[in-house]
Amino acid sequence: MEPGNDTQTSTFFLLGFSEESELQPLIFGLFLSMYLVTVYGNMLTILAISTDSHLHTPMYFFLSKLSFVDICFTSTTIPKMLWIIQTQNKAVTYEGCIIQIYFIILFAVLDVFLLTIMAYDRYVAICHPLHYMNIMNPQLCGLLVLVSWIISVLNSLLHILMMLRLSFCTNLEIPHFFCELNELIQLACSDTFLNNLVMYFAAVLLGGGPFAGILYSYSKIISSICEISSAQGKYKAFSTCVSHLSVVSLFYCTMLGVYLSSAATQSSHSSAASSVMYTLVTPMLNPFIYTLRNKDIKMALRRLIGMSFM
């Protein structure tokens, strides 16, 4: 297909991980199991928090939003990948690719913002405990989530508008299991300088900025914990941050690993395999990380499961 303005009629092909047919049932079963665990685990977290009045606090309010975003984030990529493996139909329309990119960017940025807000919540709880409920009031919590959604929606819309100006050639094969923004830009025949500029600027601003905020919050938290005289007090204060810190480390380390590995190997298939970590593994592990270290959620889940069998 010659470059032009008819990219709306294009069909892309998602190559996935492996062309070997004997591996397809194994990959399908593995990813279906992981997806179901992700949805079920995060749904249980949301239900436990919404049904237990003891968990109606800012920390759990943000955790429920994170669980919802994780479900949406995973659902933008994995069902389509499972469909491709099952039917061996790797085609995806231009419109379908654009829609998928929109929601992937939307929920990825929302994940980053929510993790940053949760770091700020822990900072206020430990560094300003006497003013915690006044600062983290319901109005502020709702406003923080609303602003996060607005920025994420506008950022995704910007990237999509930038994509619509591109035209594509005959090579429409994407060596990935979902329509990834950078991969599509590389397939374009037209000038992509502006697209790359916007993409990297947004990554630094909306990825690096919140990460700097998280680091600042934890630097203040560690400083406050060091000032606590008793070892028991230090442990209690730090234990409230361990789950969030684990999730932040997992999310950012996996994303960093994806881009470092792809830069080192120059292999798109390697990047696709690495992307599984932050698109599926991290959302799947989040409920377990928070549940295993949180007595309140454990008790709420027991009550919820007990109610379901009554």
Beta bridge partners of 13: 91, 173
Give the predicted TM-score (pTM) of the model: 0.89
Query: Which percentage of the chain shows pLDDT scores above 70?
Result: 87
- Quote the pLDDT of residue 3: 43
- Quote the pLDDT of residue 262: 54
> Hey, which bits of 108-156 come out as E strands?
none
pLDDT one-digit tens code per residue, 138-179: 999 999 999 999 999 999 999 999 999 888 877 688 888 888
- Quote the pLDDT of residue 19: 63
What the block records as the tokens of 26 is: 């194994």
Residue corresponding to tokens 């994170």: 66
pLDDT one-digit tens code per residue, 225-273: 888 888 887 887 788 788 888 888 888 877 776 665 555 555 555 566 6
Closest CA relative to residue 202, chosen from 105, 79, 66: 105
The average pLDDT across 119-126 equals 94
Domain layout of the chain by residue ranges? 7-308
Rounded CA separation 307/310 (Å)? 5
Phi, psi dihedral angles at 5 (to 5 degrees): -100, 20
Cβ neighbors of 245 (< 8 A, separation 6 or more) are 218
Please give the DSSP secondary-structure letter assigned to residue 188.
B
The average pLDDT across 71-92 equals 90
Rounded CA separation 293/176 (Å)? 35
Rounded CA separation 65/88 (Å)? 35
Tell me the pLDDT band of 87, cut-offs 50, 70 and 90: confident
Q: How far is CA 244 from CA 121, 130, 240, in A?
A: 11, 22, 8
Cβ neighbors of 271 (< 8 A, separation 6 or more) are 176, 258, 261, 262
Which position has the higher pLDDT, 170 or 51?
51
Closest CA relative to residue 31, chosen from 81, 72, 71: 81
- Quote the pLDDT of residue 264: 53
Query: Considering the chain, what is the average pLDDT of its residues?
Result: 85
Candidate CATH numbers 1.20.1070.10, 3.50.50.60, 1.10.1740.10, 3.40.1350.10; the one for domain 7-308: 1.20.1070.10
Residue corresponding to tokens 């915690």: 132
3-class SS string, 69-82: HHHHHHHCCHHHHH
Q: Are 114 and 209 in contact (CB under 8 A)?
A: no
- Quote the pLDDT of residue 167: 87
Tell me the pLDDT band of 9, cut-offs 50, 70 and 90: low
DSSP codes of every residue in 109-148: HHHHHHHHHHHHHHHHHHHSGGGHHHHT-HHHHHHHHHHH
- Quote the pLDDT of residue 301: 79
Rounded CA separation 192/301 (Å)? 49
Terminal Cα distance for the chain, rounded: 62
Amino acid at 55: L
Rounded CA separation 131/135 (Å)? 6
Which position has the higher pLDDT, 293 or 152?
152
pLDDT one-digit tens code per residue, 200-224: 899 889 988 999 999 999 999 999 8
- Quote the pLDDT of residue 8: 47
Residue 28 belongs to what H/E stretch? helix 24-51
Phi, psi dihedral angles at 125 (to 5 degrees): -65, -35
Rounded CA separation 181/189 (Å)? 15
